[in-house]
Amino acid sequence: MTVRVMLISPAMNAALREARFAGDAPLDASGHRQARSAAGVVPAADRYLRGPSLRCAATAAALGLRSDPEPALRDWEMGRWSGAPLSEVSADEPDGVAAWLTDPSAAPHGGESLLELCARVGAWLDSSHGSGGERVLVVAEPAVVRAATVHALDLPPQAFWRLDVAPLTVTELSGRSGRWNLRCGRPLQREPGN
């Protein structure tokens, strides 16, 4: 069965503004406002899911979605770097950051490697075609959206670093396990004339 998976990246928060390894940081006031203003333009779906983070939960709620948390769609596990600013980690552990950015199997932070992230998200994506519903809408952290795109298009893992996922944008994958098509980066906004 063909399925359409629509991945919405959550609204802005302080961790994103400060270039931190997010941890589980909630939305800030600006993020709440942005998500509430996009509530009327969320695509319809047969199933609604979200990553388990505070940011995904608050975005889904502000968008007016009744969504179920999906553990497989949790954010990239950053181990001891979680919550720290990228600038601080880069200054304290330059070799670790360099390895993390260049070797997809590296996890110098003690968390999850890029390969592990892509495999986890890819396994969920490939199982989504038999999960009851042709249209699945998911609020997921940008790393999860990027990992899903890398997996769906069978890109080399290093392509992950070349994908930008802005807050409150929709990335659509349609197809089924082994054959996916991509429509990326559509902002949540009203279509002209609506």
Mind listing the pLDDT tens digit for each residue in 25-34?
888 899 999 9
Q: Do residues 62 and 27 touch, judged by C-beta distance below 8 A?
A: yes
**pLDDT, the chain, mean:** 90
pLDDT 10s digits, 77-116: 999 999 899 999 999 999 999 999 999 999 999 999 999 9
Residues in Cβ contact with 171 at an 8 Å cutoff, skipping those fewer than 6 apart: 6, 7, 9, 145, 148, 149, 165, 182, 183, 184, 185, 186
Domain ranges of the chain: 3-187
Instruction: State mean pLDDT over 54-75.
Output: 95
DSSP string, 119-157: HHHHHHHHHGGGSS-SEEEEE--HHHHHHHHHHHTT--G
Give the β-pairing of 3-8 and 169-176: antiparallel
Is 3-187 assigned to CATH 3.30.360.10? no
Q: Do residues 176 and 2 touch, judged by C-beta distance below 8 A?
A: yes
Q: What pTM was estimated for this model as a whole?
A: 0.91
What does the pLDDT read at residue 188?
74
**pLDDT surpasses 60 at 133:** no
Q: Do residues 47 and 176 touch, judged by C-beta distance below 8 A?
A: no
Tokens of 47: 């199933």
